Amino acid sequence: MKKLMVSVLLLLVFALSACSGPAATSTAYAPEPRVAMQAGITQAIPDVVLFAVSGRCGVPCNGAPDDNYDYLTQRGTTTAVAQAFQNLGKSVLVVPYSSHLYNHYSSISGKYEYGFLQLEADFDWVRRNWPNTRRVLLGHSHGTNWTHDLLRAHPEWTVDYLIDLDGICALWESDNKPYFDDFYARYGNPWPVDLSKSCDVEPIKKHWWRTSYYSAKDVAYPGATYNLEVQSARLAAADVRSEGNTSLVFDYTDNIRLNAGFADVWTYVANENHSGITYPGSSALDWIGARIAALGLP
């Protein structure tokens, strides 16, 4: 009952904050943060905030990125990952997003969805106002580009866990370029890099004779203490389970640090396909839960 009351209180604080929270930053482009602490309700501050970004709408999908939506909540992915931290005795607040620069309406979900700029504002508010709260970034498919780009755009920001479910770069730049062009025309570029270019952008010298270019989704940026990466089963795998029309899609590049090392980076190839790894009970989410149980919070 106590845990239920804490969860209800967190949801109440979260709902109230959508209209009463202080501004996240002084930048003109930032939307109002959805997460805010209500004065005098210190017991409602969560131990962990899980920021979860879903990927591209499934095949066929002619309306991406406008039709992209938060499916990680719907599938129970966020619940499964949150449970891993709850098993450590921590309270968890989940804040979901879709794969889009802007907040937008999705005709698939029939709901108002939140994008990267909202993630940026919410994350900034949490790190400044709840400094003792642990921060976790979770992304699937195209969503991993946004979670990694958050750390790429803000090298001083940190997360305890960066969790990647089958990061995919194909179509990401073409989907989002018009929105970045619009944003830059309105506000200029407030970040130290051009986020519209996120595929094959990081030169990493793996050997003295060769430099390879990695996509942002494949780089465990310095702000990430732990990076857990799941790749889905390869096409030729005999035990791939059919979970829709995305079985030909998989991440084929192991994550790496900017210094070409792999410190605190773990990669696992799951038994399920690109969609199947997001469902509770999958080998992918079981592995993530086991790694969090073994590592704890840094």
pLDDT at residue 62 in the model: 83
Convert the pLDDT of each residue in 12-22 to its tens digit: 333 333 333 33
- Rounded to whole angstroms, how far apart are CA atoms 91 and 132? 13
Q: Quickly state the pLDDT bin for 171 (edges 50, 70, 90).
A: very high
pLDDT digits (tens, 9 = 90+) for 238-264: 443 333 333 467 888 999 999 999 999
Range with lowest mean pLDDT among 27-36, 206-215, 220-229, 272-281: 27-36
Question: Which pLDDT value is given to residue 36?
Answer: 62
d(CA 41, CA 189): 37
Contacts of 258 (CB under 8 A, 6+ apart): 202, 204, 219, 221, 222
Paired tokens of 167:
């990061």
- Computed over every residue of the chain, the mean pLDDT equals 86
Confidence band for 235, pLDDT divided at 50, 70 and 90: low
Ranges of each domain in the chain: 50-295
- Beta partners for 18? none
Half-sphere exposure of 177 (CA within 13 A, CB side): 7
Lowest mean pLDDT among 45-54, 155-164, 201-210, 211-220: 201-210
Q: What are phi and psi of 297, to 5 degrees?
A: -100, 130
CATH class label, 50-295 = alpha beta
